[in-house]
Amino acid sequence: MILKRLAPLFAILKLGPDADLPAWAVHAATFFIARTSDELSIMCPQGDVPDAIEASRNWVCFRVDGDLEFDEVGVVARASAPLADNGLSLFLVSTHDRDYVFVHQNDVERAIQIYETIGFTVTSGAS
């Protein structure tokens, strides 16, 4: 499996379920937004999040790259289980074409070591 480390550090935050979508949340090349009856969740480059907004900051995002089929089974498990099995906290987001693994900056070197030990290729690049 190939994982591409995206360049910006990300913030992960939760607003109330009825909150308006903030304009600052949608400026980046890569961002994720989900609304449910419980919350409005936003994952975006932390530089776009105003300082006054409460957020969990300093998350590194790895994008699962390569030629994967939409219905390929086990991609999320292959990307997440090695980290969870080694006690690392992670956050996952899936889109139609890709899966993204967020690891806190404090754990990123350990995550890369785990991935490389099991044969993954980790590259760096822009978002």
Along the 127 residues of the chain, how does pLDDT read in single tens digits?
899 999 999 999 999 999 999 999 998 989 999 999 999 999 999 999 999 999 999 999 999 986 666 566 678 899 999 999 999 999 999 988 889 999 999 999 999 999 999 999 999 976 5
Where do the domains of the chain lie? 2-122
Calculate the alpha carbon distances from 17 to 26, 51, 68, 125 in Å: 18, 21, 33, 33
Q: What pLDDT does 67 receive?
A: 61
Short-list 11, 32, 34, 28, CA closest to 100: 32
The two tokens of residue 21 are 């979508």
Q: For residues 98 and 20, give the distance between their C-alpha atoms in angstroms, rounded to a whole number.
A: 27
Q: What pLDDT does 68 receive?
A: 60
The two tokens of residue 75 are 């991609």
Domain 2-122 has CATH 3.30.2130.10: yes
What's the whole-model pTM score?
Answer: 0.90
Q: For residues 107 and 33, give the distance between their C-alpha atoms in angstroms, rounded to a whole number.
A: 24
